[in-house]
Structure 1
Amino acid sequence: MDDQPTLTATRIEAGRLLLRKGRDDDGEGLIETQTDERVRRFLGGPRAQAEVRATVATVGAATLLVADGCYIAADRESDDMLGVVTLSPRDPELPGHVSEGGGELELSYVFRARAWGKGYATEACRALLRCAAEQLADQPIVIVTQTANLAALRLADRLGFAQLGTFEQFDAEQVLASARLGTFLPQ
């Protein structure tokens, strides 16, 4: 799966949201998602704010958010950054795969705390998966999250991912869940 085609969309319409490529004016939102203790609770903890600010100032948020499959979830009316959603190959060196050799596409997301509990993550993930299903071949998609992250497990369930098992990573039990990309095609 090393030569997977990538998403070509630069904008994805999603109800209340717009998924778009990152820009330098997303810097404050990016800093918040990397340094907020609540946001980083299941992601290894907050990063040092001075360090993240220095990186954003030196490199720019647009450069940090340029990866294929990486989108800013922005409020459709204000264009305010609410979070980041990504669909990218899972590193074959990491545990948690459904295909021999790994490299499956992994769905991940992080949202500012003020955007929690409003359905934005569900809306953004569905839109990204629908777009990917229209552009890419049917294949397994994985979500990996800590067993303790009940909100993420509920989201995976709402999206239609089936839990396949658990494994240890980052000193915590992780859940591996999977779905087929083709299931996200519009009906």
Structure 2
Amino acid sequence: MSARLTAAGRPTYAVPVTTLETPRLRLTPVTSDDVPFFAELWQDPEVMAHLGGVRDPERIVPLVAEAVEQWRTHGLGRWVVRLAAQSIGTIKLAHVMRGRSEIEIGYALLPGHEGRGYATEACECVLNFALQDRSFPSVVALARDGNDSSLAVLDRLGFVREGSFEHPLGPHMLFRVTRPRWLDRT
């Protein structure tokens, strides 16, 4: 993926911001119009229990603006997961650490939408985008011990645990699915 510089000197990638669809879900790139949804999601204690705690209300607008900018600067970013016209969650592809080629998938659903296969369905769609369409060599996922629902999703998707590490938010496990493993799924 080649980058060119904007008038402000920032790189922009020749990758369109992509809306993805599944039979039940529509994944739309985050926009500033999604601030109220993210305020609801990121301030819900149940949702944020494994994601570092609720976000400060004053940080929501800057965090959404940063998510919008990630598409422009990295060609990757965050989608809003929609069921019909209702925003029910978010999913992202992002660089784990700046300067590294590792790509991480992460997701969260509003309470009341778990256990219906939405997380797995959205992840499958995004993994197809990353590993088939974009040909990334692998995608990683981070999960905290005790986040049983996310661990089950990662298992269903064919992620393999690679180890544990100390994350700023506490002990985490690292999982990976490689492009060949993903493409060989039946």
Q: Which TM-score applies when normalising by structure 1?
A: 0.78
- 1:48 matched to which residue of 2? 56
Stretches of structure 2 lacking an aligned partner (at least 5 in a row):
4-12
- 2:149 matched to which residue of 1? 151
Find the residue that maps to 1:134 and give its secondary structure.
helix
- 1:18 matched to which residue of 2? 26
Name the aligned partner's letter for residue 129 of structure 1.
L
Q: Are the equivalent residues in 1 in contact too, given 2:104–2:139 (CA < 8 A)?
A: yes
Find the residue that maps to 1:39 and give its secondary structure.
helix
1:105 positional shift: 0.7
- 2:67 matched to which residue of 1? 65
Aligned residues: 170
Q: Rate the CA distance shift 1:6–1:117 in 2: closer, same or farther, 3 A.
A: farther
Cα RMSD after superposing both structures: 2.8
Counterpart Cα distance in 1 of 2:169 and 2:132: 37
- 1:84 matched to which residue of 2? 90
Stretches of structure 1 lacking an aligned partner (at least 5 in a row):
93-100
Counterpart Cα distance in 1 of 2:19 and 2:89: 15
Q: Are the equivalent residues in 2 in contact too, given 1:7–1:136 (CA < 8 A)?
A: no
**RCO comparison, higher one (Cα < 8 Å, 6+):** 1
Q: Rate the CA distance shift 1:133–1:60 in 2: closer, same or farther, 3 A.
A: closer
1:64 positional shift: 4.2
2:117 counterpart (111, 119, 132): 119
Q: Are the equivalent residues in 2 in contact too, given 1:109–1:121 (CA < 8 A)?
A: yes
1:42 positional shift: 0.9
Q: Are the equivalent residues in 2 in contact too, given 1:105–1:141 (CA < 8 A)?
A: yes
Q: Rate the CA distance shift 1:83–1:139 in 2: closer, same or farther, 3 A.
A: same
Identity, % of aligned positions: 27
Counterpart Cα distance in 2 of 1:6 and 1:153: 34
- 2:106 matched to which residue of 1? 108
Name the aligned partner's letter for residue 105 of structure 1.
I
Counterpart Cα distance in 1 of 2:116 and 2:46: 16
